[in-house]
Amino acid sequence: MDQERDAASRHTPVMLERCVDLLAPALAAPGSVAIDGTLGMGGHTEAILERCPEARVVGIDRDPQAIALASARLARFGDRFVAHHAEYDDIEGALAAAGADRAHGILLDLGVSSLQIDDAERGFSYAQDAPLDMRMNPADPVSAADLLRDADERELTRILRDYGEERFASKIARSIVRRRETEPFERSEQLVDLVRACIPAATRTPGAGNPAKRTFQGLRIAVNRELEVLERAIPAAIEGIGVGGRVVVMSYHSLEDRIVKRAFAAGAESQAPPGLPVVPDEDLPYLRLLTRGAEKASAEEAERNPRSKPVRLRAVERLRPTPPQRLRRNP
């Protein structure tokens, strides 16, 4: 009971009602299966199980602490909830855990969870001094401290520029390499101080927050291979639903949203030349966009839950199986 209350009190799910509204039409039939690919502390899964009494949910998470907290919270649903310890691209493994060939709904709430941010010892937050860890799965072999110790200047620059979208990536990387010769990076405060010294005060946007934010984002994405997993997860989710099934994805920065947008658009567009009187089946769209562009949290939710401010939600429904020719072409 303590764990159940702990999970519920430590996290406010982002765009909860909208996510359930989008998934519920696909989860009305008896035996429906939903996959919550980013279980976290179970808030979205709980809402799906309450709203869709005919559905079962498989919750995926790479973090064993999240699995334990969410499982305690969701124990009252019995076998309607199954936990699957894996990265969220393992849609096939989640389906096997449910004994199903296809899911009817899949939800992905990307990025770092409240559980990980709020636990200072996990090292995700630049606002608190802690060991530089940043691993979503503590059993993974490479921590942020390892990366800062071993990566060369060119690789560090790429990580900070491409994943953190950091304007001063090369300057920060050069400073890291120089500093680590005499002082290993072991705690977040060391890195925050270095980044602050590298970014001229005149270039900082008022109200933009800690100047180390982008550096921490880049390192976190690299440590957890987040974009690599996402590149596999989106096609797996699309192919993991049957006709009438729905996929809902919430992204928190442009790198994630770009991957989602591209994959959804590829399935929702006709491949036939304009003006063709009869469109061959293989050129017809196999997805239908359920959102007009990317939806944002309401002003009220953003005020109530600041972590919802950057969210971009996109959703699709499967219209027909993916033509083999297009399946081969898709990323």
Question: For the whole model, what pTM was predicted?
Answer: 0.89
Nearest to 35 by CA among 288, 241, 242: 241
pLDDT-derived band at 119, boundaries 50, 70, 90: low
List strand residue ranges (DSSP E) for the chain, in order: 33-36, 56-61, 81-85, 103-109, 241-251, 287-289, 312-318
**Binding site feature residues for S-adenosyl-L-methionine:** 42-44, 61, 88, 109, 116
pLDDT-derived band at 6, boundaries 50, 70, 90: low
pLDDT in tens, 85-113: 999 999 999 999 999 999 999 999 997 76
> For all residues of the chain together, what is the average pLDDT?
90
pLDDT at 288: 97
Dihedral, 91, 95, 97, 98 alpha carbons, nearest 10: 140
Identify the residue with better confidence: 274 or 37: 37
Nearest to 124 by CA among 306, 64, 114: 114
Domains of the chain: 2-115+227-329 (3.40.50.150), 120-225 (1.10.150.170)
pLDDT at 11: 65
What share of the chain has pLDDT > 90, as a percent?
A: 77
> Does 8 score more than 70 pLDDT?
no
pLDDT in tens, 292-304: 999 999 999 999 9
**Binding site feature residues:** 42-44, 61, 88, 109, 116
Residue type, 302: A
